[in-house]
Every structure is written in C-alpha cells, then in structure tokens.
Amino acid sequence: MASPASSPTWGRVSRHGVFELAATLDHIGPMARSAADCGAMLGAIAGSDSNDPTAVQDPVPNYIAGMTRGLQGLRVGVDGTWNTSRVDRVTVDAVTAALGTVRDLGAEIREVTFPDVDQTVADWFPLCGAEVAVAHEATYPARKSEYGPALSGLIELGRGLAGLDYQKIVLRRIDLCGRVAAIFQDIDLLLVPAQGIASPTTAQLARLGEDAEMLNALIRFTCPFDMTGSPTITLPCGFTDVGTPVAFQFVGRHLEEEILVRAGHAYQTATDWHRRHPALPAD
C-alpha cells in the first residue's frame, strides 16, 4: 500500500533517542496507512521533552478533531512553474490531477511564486554534510573504511566547508525562511510534488552521486522545507506505468499540522490511491 507520511514542524517531535542525520534539518514524524492515522500518531509522539531542549514547548492539539471539515474555505497555493520544472511527465500528470481534486473539493486555488530553489538545493548539501560530519565525529574518519561512498562523500563535503561559506549559507537560509513565511500570509497550504522523479529505481539511486541533475530533481521539493522547518504531509496520488507510486505534498505554516491532516483526510476521502498496493515485479 502507498503510505502517507507526515513531516511535522521542526522540533514538534523530540529528537531524543534518534540518531541524527543533520540536527537542524531532521523532522521526526509518522508514516501510516492514512492521513488520519498520521494525525493520531503525531498526537501521541509530539510535545515537549526534557531530554531535548529544542523540542517545541507549545501544547499538542488534537490533530484529528477537525479533520472532517473538508477543504472548503482553505486557500491552496500553487507555483505552476516550479511544479513542472525538472519534473517527469508522470509526476506532472498525477499532481495536476490531484490539484483538480483539491479544487473540486472546494479549496480556493491561488497562484504563488516560490523562491528559486536552485541555490537552496546547492546550499543543502554542504550544510547537511557539515551536520552529518558532527553527528559522525566519533567514528569518522577513524572508521572511514566502513562508510559507503555516498555518505563518506557527504561528510567530506561538510568537513571541507569554510567558515565564511557556512555563514553565507546560514544567511541565505534565514532569507528563504522569511520569503516562505511571506507566501503563507496569503495561503493556508502549498501543493507541490513529493519529488521530481516518480519512484526512482535502485539503479537510478545508485548513480545519484554521479548525476547532479537527477539528484536535484529528487530533492528540489523536499530540501527547501528541511531548510525552513516547515511541516508537510505526503500523499500518494497515482502510479507509474510499472505500478510504483507517485506522490504530492501539502506544505503548511509552522505548527499548523492539524490543517495538513484535515487536507490530507479530505483528499483521501475522495480518492483511493492510499488503499492501492503497488505492483511488485515477478523477479
């Protein structure tokens, strides 16, 4: 079954006990059978934690209490250029169909212009690399031979980042956060693909380190929200010709996960993609 996943606001769920990838980019959230289940799980795991001082102190709402209110009255932003640039056709078609469903359910669709993400993608790698290098400092480079080339390469990128370059990334990240917050003054949700490549194969993933364009397409709709700390919910919205799932994301304002659950539940009430099972190859 193609499963929905929720990525809450950074810090909404404690990171205590989780082996970090990158401390300021990691969002801890549930993957479940439905948006409703994601909301229920989030309600159980969210909240303050004395073991994690970065965990959000705000009270945890009942994320599923208002999930049956539907999409009527919600303003959904769409950047048509971003949603289709460097995105394969099957994803464009599936996300366009999802947008049509969202419109039919009563949401008000608004055109928005998202900040250019090319610089954000370029910044994500060295920033993530630096944070991964800190997380692995006890074992890398002391046990470098035990690391695969992809993770080792990311750590080396981070270890080689100069202080001035790091500060420039930090300033650009702050700028991005402000620009994205401004967009949400006029919308309640943003609708974007989950990734630019529908269900990449293991062979494609194995070449990521050698194919910058593929890697860009894979993360250009997720890494901006790692950088801003924004909450998202990822929902299946179709299948490729070989039967693997395609997905889109609703993105929300910080600490408004209940709207994401509401929107996800409305979409899944009108569709059945989350109940379908991907085809498995015979071999």
In 3-state terms, what secondary structure has residue 161? coil
Binning pLDDT at 50, 70 and 90, where does residue 281 land?
A: low
Which residues are CB-neighbours of 217 under 8 A, at least 6 positions away? 86, 87, 88, 195, 196, 197
Residue 21 lies in a domain: yes
Residue 52 lies in a domain: yes
pLDDT of residue 280: 67
Residue 170 lies in a domain: no
The residue segments making up the domain with residue 25 are: 5-115+178-275
pTM for the whole thing?
0.94
Q: What is the CATH number of the domain that holds 263?
A: 3.90.1300.10
How far does Cα 144 stand from its chain's mean position? 29
Residue 123 backbone dihedrals phi, psi, to 5 degrees: -75, -30
Q: What are 222-272's pLDDT values in tens digits?
A: 999 999 999 999 999 999 988 889 999 999 999 999 999 999 999 999 999
Mean pLDDT within 43-62: 97
Measured between alpha carbons, how far is 184 from 75 in angstroms, rounded to an integer?
Answer: 10
Residue 125 lies in a domain: no
On whether the CB atoms of residues 19 and 26 are closer than 8 A, the answer is: no
Q: What are 93-122's pLDDT values in tens digits?
A: 999 999 999 999 999 999 999 999 999 999
For the record, the structure tokens of 53 come out as: 């001082």
On whether the CB atoms of residues 53 and 25 are closer than 8 A, the answer is: no
Q: How many domains does the chain have?
A: 1
- Containing H/E element for 153? helix 149-159
